[in-house]
């Protein structure tokens, strides 16, 4: 059989058929190579896991003993308490409406005072049934209508409030000079002053005079009500005696004296002026039988809410603790702690509130003199304790205490160890302030915390 026909037959085969045979050969080669690599990897992994019993025991044993050290520092430890508070006035008074005499209903007809506004003495806080509620400085609320001839602590309070405005003498007797000042007070506010209506019976010489045959007094009527934030009327001494007889009315000089009457419903007293409007609670048209306006007066304070633990830390802080104000109106200045108390409704009492009845307390901090917007946010940092300038700082675990209570640290220097007796001053946040009892401890030295792998070397701490 001749070979030439075979070669011709091979040449006559299509090129695509030859390409497919080449691809199959390449695939087979790749599979063989991958199998070889996989076998080698398996053999290597099995070999790497093979260990003699001695090797396994060595790997399972503890590392060789080594010393764990820390560096002595001369940085002072400061125990801080960080708080956030709000600026507010030291006294707040909530003003409620009372139906004025001669009207059938108590309706809010005007609210000229706006939140955030500063009010001076004689300002109109609200208008009820067409009549003003005037703001004056005083220690206690008005508790009766005043008329010419009246005497008592409430008259003296009114005269003290009118003295810087109209030069009224403080005599304790509501006389013509006081009536004229009341008339001018109303006129400045844009209202007509009430007139006295009692029938004339005898002449009165003036504010200093008091009637010898005073007629029986009338029952005291309530006035522009407050929340009691301005204090209570005096109740002892001459003023107590005056209050007992203050209802007795002297004969009036004139039947129709403008300013001869000051209704309690038309005046409200606050601790000091100027006062700031904190909140306006009512709207024009409301029935004036609830809170109308809340005003703050007196100096500023910063109120911060506390947990029971924070309250305890403030209560027990040393006398040399420092209170610093951070971000806020008083930034960079120092202040003092005014009081600690349970949040209203949660506990009762002030400094000695029952901690079992409240989980929330508040602290009132006194800032330096100066004005700040009511409600402004203020950061407070209380430095409760600070290590002395001559003390050194080490980690808590560096302090070793023996059975007798003596404390020491172990200094590592030039490959040797030596114990140095120390006095523990205080510990805070994992650090301890110490003072060496000799010259053997300095900043930047290394002290031993513990010896790794040596159970016999366990450090003690002094809390």
C-beta of residue 156 within 8 angstroms of C-beta of residue 138:
no
Q: What percent of the chain has pLDDT over 70?
A: 69
Question: Is 246 inside a domain boundary?
Answer: yes
276/400 Cα distance (integer angstroms): 59
| Domain C-terminal end among 368, 386, 404 | 386
Question: Higher-confidence residue: 6 or 127?
Answer: 127
pLDDT band at 415 (very low <50, low <70, confident <90, very high): confident
Across the chain, what does the average pLDDT equal?
78
User: What are the tens digits of pLDDT across the range 118-148?
Assistant: 899 999 999 999 999 999 999 999 999 999 9
270/122 Cα distance (integer angstroms): 12
pLDDT band at 43 (very low <50, low <70, confident <90, very high): low
In this predicted structure, what is the pLDDT of residue 224? 59
> Are residues 447 and 352 located together in one domain of the fold?
no
CA dihedral 345, 351, 352, 358 (to 10 degrees): 30
> Are residues 247 and 368 located together in one domain of the fold?
no
> Are residues 218 and 340 located together in one domain of the fold?
no
Work out the average pLDDT over 318-347: 87
Domain region containing 190: 98-289
pLDDT band at 265 (very low <50, low <70, confident <90, very high): very high
User: What are the tens digits of pLDDT across the range 333-366?
Assistant: 999 999 998 886 544 444 444 444 557 899 999 9
How many domains would you assign to the chain? 3
> Are residues 120 and 251 located together in one domain of the fold?
yes
Q: Which CATH number covers residue 430?
A: 2.40.420.20
Work out the average pLDDT over 301-319: 93
In this predicted structure, what is the pLDDT of residue 356? 47
Question: Is 460 inside a domain boundary?
Answer: no
> Are residues 263 and 307 located together in one domain of the fold?
no
> Are residues 434 and 444 located together in one domain of the fold?
yes
> Are residues 418 and 281 located together in one domain of the fold?
no
> Are residues 377 and 395 located together in one domain of the fold?
no
Question: Is 158 inside a domain boundary?
Answer: yes
| Domain C-terminal end among 266, 289, 312 | 289
| Domain C-terminal end among 289, 310, 330 | 289
User: What are the tens digits of pLDDT across the range 150-176?
Assistant: 999 999 999 999 999 999 999 999 999
Buried-state track 37-72, b at ≥16 Cβ within 10 A, e below 16: eeeeeeeeeeeeeeeeeeeeeeeeeeeeeeeebbeb
> Are residues 102 and 83 located together in one domain of the fold?
no
Work out the average pLDDT over 79-103: 88
Work out the average pLDDT over 238-255: 42
> Are residues 341 and 221 located together in one domain of the fold?
no
Question: Is 46 inside a domain boundary?
Answer: no
> Are residues 347 and 407 located together in one domain of the fold?
no
> Are residues 276 and 136 located together in one domain of the fold?
yes
Question: Is 6 inside a domain boundary?
Answer: no
């Amino acid at each position: 059989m001749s070979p030439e026909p075979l070669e011709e037959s091979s040449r006559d085969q299509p090129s695509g058929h030859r390409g497919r045979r080449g691809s199959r050969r390449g695939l087979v080669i790749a599979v063989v190579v991958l199998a070889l690599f996989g076998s080698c990897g398996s053999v290597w992994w099995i070999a790497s896991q093979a260990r003699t019993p001695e090797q396994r025991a060595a790997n399972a044993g503890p590392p060789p003993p080594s010393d764990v050290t820390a560096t002595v520092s001369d940085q002072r430890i400061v125990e801080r308490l960080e708080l956030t508070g709000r600026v507010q006035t030291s006294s707040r008074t909530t003003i409620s409406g009372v139906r004025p005499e001669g009207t059938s209903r108590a309706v809010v007809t005007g609210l000229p005072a706006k939140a955030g506004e500063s009010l001076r003495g004689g300002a109109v806080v609200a208008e009820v049934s067409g009549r003003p509620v005037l703001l004056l400085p005083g220690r206690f609320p008005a508790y009766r209508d005043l008329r010419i001839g009246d005497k008592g602590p409430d008259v003296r309070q009114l005269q003290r409030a009118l003295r810087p405005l109209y030069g009224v003498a403080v005599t304790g007797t509501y006389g013509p000079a006081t009536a004229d000042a009341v008339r001018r007070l109303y006129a400045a506010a844009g209202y007509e002053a009430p007139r006295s209506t009692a029938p004339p019976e005898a002449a009165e010489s003036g504010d200093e005079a008091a009637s010898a045959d005073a007629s029986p007094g009338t029952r005291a009527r309530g006035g522009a009500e407050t929340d009691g934030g301005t204090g209570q009327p005096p109740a002892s001494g001459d003023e107590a005696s005056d209050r007992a007889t203050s209802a007795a009315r002297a004969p009036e000089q004139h039947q129709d004296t403008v300013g001869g009457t000051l209704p309690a419903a038309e005046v409200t007293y606050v601790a000091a002026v100027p006062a700031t409007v904190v909140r306006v609670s009512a709207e024009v048209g409301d029935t004036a039988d609830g809170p109308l306006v809340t005003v703050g007066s007196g100096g500023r304070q910063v109120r911060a809410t506390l947990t029971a633990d924070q309250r305890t830390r403030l209560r027990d802080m040393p006398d040399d603790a420092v209170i610093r104000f951070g971000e806020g109106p008083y930034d960079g200045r120092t202040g003092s702690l005014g009081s600690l108390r349970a949040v209203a409704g949660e506990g009762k009492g002030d400094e000695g509130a029952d901690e079992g009845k409240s989980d929330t307390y508040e602290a009132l901090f006194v800032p330096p003199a100066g004005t700040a917007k009511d409600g402004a946010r203020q950061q407070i940092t209380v430095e409760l304790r600070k290590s002395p300038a001559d003390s050194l700082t080490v980690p808590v675990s560096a302090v070793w205490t023996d059975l007798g209570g003596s404390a020491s640290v172990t200094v590592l220097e030039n490959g040797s160890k030596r114990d140095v007796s120390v006095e523990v001053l205080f510990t805070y946040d994992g650090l301890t302030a110490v003072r060496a009892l000799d010259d053997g401890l300095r900043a930047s030295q290394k002290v031993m915390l513990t010896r790794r792998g040596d159970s016999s070397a366990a450090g003690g701490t002094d809390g």
